[in-house]
Structure 1
Amino acid sequence: MTIPGLIARSKALLARIPTDILLTLVILSSVGTSFWLGLITGREQGALQGKPDISIEQFEVPNIAPGGGPAAAVAAPKAISPSTGTYMASKNGTKYYLPTCSSSNRIKPENRVWFKSKAEAEAAGYGPAANCPGL
C-alpha cells in the first residue's frame, strides 16, 4: 500500500465519523496526553530531588484524661478588671494590645482579657501585636 492510498483510506474513514464526535475524541485525547506527560515529568523531577512518590507518616494520638478534652488542658488566663489592667487580649486570640491600639477596639467586650503587665500577658501565652506601637 502506498502513502497516497493510506491518506485516501484515512480520509474516507474520518468522513464516516460525525464532526462533533471526532472533535470530542481529539480534545479528550489531547487532554489525556497532556495529563500523562505532566504526571511523568512530575515523577521524574521528584526522583531527581530524592523525594518518594508516596510518603507515609505516623500520626501520634495524644493521651487525654477521661472527662477532659483539649479545652480542659488549657488553663484560662486570669482576667482582671479593666480599670486596673494596662494590656488587653482576646480570649480567642494569641496577641495582646494596649487599650489605645486601633486593633483592640475590634475585640468584643465579652471576649476581652486584661493583664497588669507585659510579663503577665506573655506568661498566659500571648505575644505582642505587631501593629500596635509601643509594645
Structure 2
Amino acid sequence: MEKRQVPYILILILSASLAFGLGRLSKIEEGKPALIIESQESEDIQIATSSKFVASKTGTKYYYPSCSGASRIKETNKVWFNTKEQAKRAGYSPATNCEGL
C-alpha cells in the first residue's frame, strides 16, 4: 500500500463509521415516546395574580407586583390587596418609586 492511499482509506473508514452511528441514533430516537411538559398553577400563584397590589407586613408602602420594590419583599412577608383603597385602609401608602400609583 502506498503512503498517499492511507488518507483516503482513513476517510472512507471514518465516513462509514459516522454513517452507521447516525443511522443507529435515528433508530433509537424513533422508538421513544414524545416528551410532554405540563405545568400546574398553585393556589398561591392564582391569589397573587388576582390581587393587584402588594405590601410588606413590616413596611408602610404598597406596590404593583411588577415594581422593583415588590420584588424585594420576601414571600412570607407579602400582603395582597385587590384595590388601592384596601391598602390605604390597612395603613399603607403608595410607593413613590412605582409609576402609576
Q: TM-score, normalised by structure 1?
A: 0.40
Flag structure 2 segments of 5+ consecutive residues without an equivalent: 1-46
The two structures, once aligned, show a CA RMSD in angstroms of 0.7
Question: SS state of the match for residue 62, structure 2?
Answer: strand
Please list the CA deviations of residues 72-123 of structure 1 after superposition, one character each: whole Å capped at 9, or x if unmatched. xxxxxxxxx3132100000000000001101110000010000000000000
Structure showing greater relative contact order (alpha-carbon pairs closer than 8 Å, 6 or more residues apart): 2
Instruction: Pick the structure with greater CA Rg.
Output: 1
TM alignment of 1:27-66, pairs within 5 A: none
Which one-letter code corresponds to 2:60 in the other structure? T
| In 2, Cα distance between equivalents of 1:133 and 1:127 | 14
Which runs of 4 or more aligned residues in structure 1 lie more than 4 Å from their structure 2 counterparts after TM superposition?
Answer: none
- Corresponding residue for residue 78 of structure 1: none
- Corresponding residue for residue 26 of structure 2: none
| Matched length | 55
Please list the CA deviations of residues 9-48 of structure 1 after superposition, one character each: whole Å capped at 9, or x if unmatched. xxxxxxxxxxxxxxxxxxxxxxxxxxxxxxxxxxxxxxxx
- Corresponding residue for residue 54 of structure 2: 88
| In 2, Cα distance between equivalents of 1:132 and 1:86 | 13
| In 2, Cα distance between equivalents of 1:108 and 1:134 | 23
| In 2, Cα distance between equivalents of 1:83 and 1:101 | 14
TM alignment of 1:1-135, pairs within 5 A: 81-135=47-101
